[in-house]
Structure 1
């Protein structure tokens, strides 16, 4: 998409770093509860503390309430993946087709993300003159280069081309900046990630901090987006070659698909994780920030706030690798949870699935129940059950990302991480790029590696090609990466959101019959509407009021 040069007023964000200190020298005249700008840029440890704060640009595994830079679960409920009962982050304006420049609410990331870019620019303008060890200085510079690139990637995948601001604003700055094209922004981000990788050398093992591998992995995703139909309508093969090469560069690094229990991939440190954002329970104020509280069924006293849709459940195929729409698959809608893709059992809590340790839910056993979810009408996790105001409207909850080794009702939290990049995503990136380059066999090879890891023994037919193979690649991403923030953007970059997001969001009503059998009635949970303008977010009205920017297509200022 090509944009006319427009003028944008970007407010200058004031740096304020508050760090509690404890000094033995009581005569030290420097304030003990804060540091001046001059102090920060004369002490490498303070510069590192400044860097640590910039990591807030990355999503994490907490529910941060009104923190608009962190839309992890909200991205699922703003796509066909999930339903959010309590409308966190204003996803309803996306789903109802009512999105305008002045009602984005907590879904808008424009101002806070540009604020982080300003602070990154301040850091990068100062760090070379901070005294201290050169290797440490390069590491911090590499981390911040990555974090600024990540911030720009967040902006361009939401809004398209944005102003590329590479120097910090001050009171004497010219605040009028033109809006760059998407390709200009994408190329800048890619180049910056190369620069970050060079500064960070070949690091691949610093868990939770930016490494060279993390930079190269993000580059793979950035170039995949740039090559996709939304931003590559002419199917320029050079863009797909860049995307393929970037993915292969990461595949050649010493990471491996995690072969242990699939659910543990998202709760334990393992060989597949390239970049994660860590969360330390020491700094969490209560379980009300935690994954388990928000995702668990109501009969376990969770909130079931972000619940998988039947649409997502239907995307999981059968254990033999066939899709449920295949007449030869053996799928029975009245026995819907039998013989499904092994990932279904690891990602989704469905009626009859055990959840958590029995000792964590003694109250269920005390009334003659078990730790198996009861989403059927009258069950403990149904609208007629316990904590009924928190029941799952779709009659499913997410198992993925939940740590079931502790009791979230009694213990504050466990240390968590949110996946930023992992190897299977890179495999999927590579398979997609290879497909668009005409290398079907290579695409199938990498899809089979992911499916084999998942426990599907049957390989894909070697004759798969064209639309059938394209759909299989997209289906694998939908399953493998669910609840990881990809689906919302995937359907947009593929230019299929007008189909996927215009379908009703579905759930299931389960009736337990007198003979113990159950009847499954699939019902509409929410009407969804997607308009052509929704492929991009509108630039917020508050910004438009200060500028002469041209709004994104089809929005009214």
Structure 2
């Protein structure tokens, strides 16, 4: 039976990219804030019993907005756009959920959706970061946060409601500044709205000054925010404390803590412990893949995204990440380096000669998270009834990345085959047919307790408390299904194990890109080819694995930070980051 023709999907994919490149950036720069705000108001007013009692949309004035808590909340809701989502939005630079993984040694993106190849090739300059540059859109949201915070205290209505909204926007502004600092270092701190008479030339704060501001703002937010909320996706006290934990961990790391000051590690440790001591989160110990597709006890902060009617299935996680033989796009493919980071079932590294790893059977007896996070050759994927066309040609729902298999370059939908011969299972919901529909209310996890445990373990190690560090590593590994606990580790061996656990446990969650930079090891991890595997199926049924280069990667010293865009330098005379002049 001839396989289905999915060429229109590819054409639609490319048409959307071209449309973005030609149109949407200009639209966003000129009208995004106003248009999206009034869209939020339109939604809000449409829920009223008698919408005719409301003035037309184009007559909402500044006075009207800031005299109605409902309208103020609509304004605040729009500021949530600073948070990443699962959606693959080419025209939203602030949403780099997937691009971060493919701009480090974690994964490969064959369609170069966010200019990752510019970074990976060592060609990055102040003029060519493209969609990877978040400077302008992030400061646009900060401007709107400043407007909100300058008005909210005088909006009449329920004080608790008003304080909750204020806490949310304090968090969102702090999160925006955190995103800027991890990309650019110290940045201009602006806390009042600009107007036509403002002096737009504000000097950069130092990195430490920026972090002090961010953490102070998160503390203010935490004091105003509820401990829990019945509304999925809304910011809570735990979310504010969790981002504070991450900010202080980064600040204590070698990239910024060049003297290894113990006081910075102490702050990082205390911040992580503050989240743990809230005692309202717990590791999700049921079916591990459901951690990333359901609302559960481990999630501290997430951002929901619902179905886009214009794209139907095409903007779904499953469409972007599934193998080509299942008619997915394999857009974000795990690297061989990530595959090799998964240890064996007994918890040992695959390089350990005493482990159970067999290079002739590389996918056997591995860390249980490997089977939950990765689609590899020989792995079942999805329900059989969702891929009947594979069965019709004598195959099955078993992934075939070997040469000549349905998911190989010689198989189906060859323009979408995975260059590394792996795809991500993580974040994919295989309980429905992604070729026909897109699941609603997908959530991108911004913070979860597993990350906080790893933050705390790292800080405790740096403070010399190896036992505590191992204790929290074992919590993560035990939940994963590794039954042999760690014991007796210290020094570099323990530090490497902490870093390995972050690489495996937090893959595809946007951490690795920043981890290798803050640890100051990116000149090693990013300065070598990204690898994949070529699998040959032999006549006797065995398979041969040859590891091959997928993409050359070049990392230069200046790439620890992004360059401030040249138009901003020209406009404000800001000090450029080292190496980009």
TM-score normalised by L of structure 1: 0.95
The gaps in structure 1 that reach 5 residues or longer are: 1-9
In structure 1, the residue corresponding to 2:114 is in which secondary structure?
helix
Distance in 2 separating the partners of 1:165 and 1:243: 25
After superposition, the C-alpha distances for 1:421-444 in whole angstroms (9 at most, x for unaligned) are 100000000000000000001000
Change (3 A) 1:12 1:303: closer
- The answer to whether structure 1 residue 110 and structure 2 residue 135 are counterparts is yes
Distance in 1 separating the partners of 2:54 and 2:461: 64
In structure 1, the residue corresponding to 2:571 is in which secondary structure?
coil
- The answer to whether structure 1 residue 386 and structure 2 residue 412 are counterparts is yes
Q: Check whether the contact 1:395–1:509 (CA below 8 A) recurs between aligned residues.
A: yes
How many angstroms does 1:28 deviate by?
A: 5.2
How many angstroms does 1:204 deviate by?
A: 6.1
Distance in 2 separating the partners of 1:266 and 1:277: 12
One of 296, 300, 320 as aligned partner of 1:274: 300
In structure 2, the residue corresponding to 1:164 is in which secondary structure?
coil
Q: 1:471 — aligned with what?
A: 496
One of 370, 373, 376 as aligned partner of 1:347: 373
Q: 2:433 — aligned with what?
A: 407
Distance in 2 separating the partners of 1:546 and 1:13: 22
Change (3 A) 1:299 1:27: closer
How many angstroms does 1:12 deviate by?
A: 13
Change (3 A) 1:32 1:68: closer
How many angstroms does 1:35 deviate by?
A: 2.2
Q: 2:107 — aligned with what?
A: 82
One of 91, 94, 98 as aligned partner of 1:66: 91
How many angstroms does 1:344 deviate by?
A: 0.2
How many angstroms does 1:174 deviate by?
A: 2.1
Q: 2:562 — aligned with what?
A: 537
One of 165, 173, 186 as aligned partner of 1:161: 186
Q: Check whether the contact 2:312–2:437 (CA below 8 A) recurs between aligned residues.
A: no
Distance in 2 separating the partners of 1:134 and 1:435: 43
Q: 2:11 — aligned with what?
A: none
- The answer to whether structure 1 residue 445 and structure 2 residue 465 are counterparts is no
One of 349, 352, 373 as aligned partner of 1:323: 349
How many angstroms does 1:503 deviate by?
A: 1.6
Distance in 2 separating the partners of 1:481 and 1:162: 27
After superposition, the C-alpha distances for 1:222-252 in whole angstroms (9 at most, x for unaligned) are 1101100001000111110000001001111
Q: 2:175 — aligned with what?
A: 150
In structure 1, the residue corresponding to 2:177 is in which secondary structure?
helix
After superposition, the C-alpha distances for 1:110-164 in whole angstroms (9 at most, x for unaligned) are 0000000000000000000111000000000000000000000000000000000
Distance in 1 separating the partners of 2:223 and 2:481: 37
In structure 2, the residue corresponding to 1:155 is in which secondary structure?
helix
From the two aligned structures, give the one with the greater helix fraction: 2
In structure 1, the residue corresponding to 2:222 is in which secondary structure?
helix
Q: 1:431 — aligned with what?
A: 457
How many angstroms does 1:282 deviate by?
A: 5.9
Q: 1:553 — aligned with what?
A: 578
TM-score normalised by L of structure 2: 0.92
- The answer to whether structure 1 residue 40 and structure 2 residue 40 are counterparts is no
Distance in 1 separating the partners of 2:548 and 2:344: 22
Q: 1:359 — aligned with what?
A: 385
In structure 2, the residue corresponding to 1:234 is in which secondary structure?
coil
One of 250, 257, 264 as aligned partner of 2:290: 264
Q: Check whether the contact 2:200–2:572 (CA below 8 A) recurs between aligned residues.
A: no
Change (3 A) 1:106 1:12: closer
In structure 2, the residue corresponding to 1:408 is in which secondary structure?
coil
Distance in 1 separating the partners of 2:540 and 2:50: 79
Change (3 A) 1:205 1:237: farther
Equivalent pairs counted in the alignment come to 546
Q: 1:314 — aligned with what?
A: 340
Distance in 1 separating the partners of 2:320 and 2:429: 12
Q: CA RMSD in A?
A: 1.7
In structure 1, the residue corresponding to 2:142 is in which secondary structure?
helix
One of 326, 330, 347 as aligned partner of 1:300: 326
Q: Check whether the contact 1:343–1:454 (CA below 8 A) recurs between aligned residues.
A: yes
Q: Check whether the contact 2:109–2:332 (CA below 8 A) recurs between aligned residues.
A: yes
How many angstroms does 1:363 deviate by?
A: 0.3
After superposition, the C-alpha distances for 1:5-51 in whole angstroms (9 at most, x for unaligned) are xxxxx999975631324577687582246622221101000100111
Q: 2:206 — aligned with what?
A: 181
Q: After alignment, is 118-127 or 11-20 more displaced? A: 11-20
Q: 2:123 — aligned with what?
A: 98
How many angstroms does 1:175 deviate by?
A: 1.9
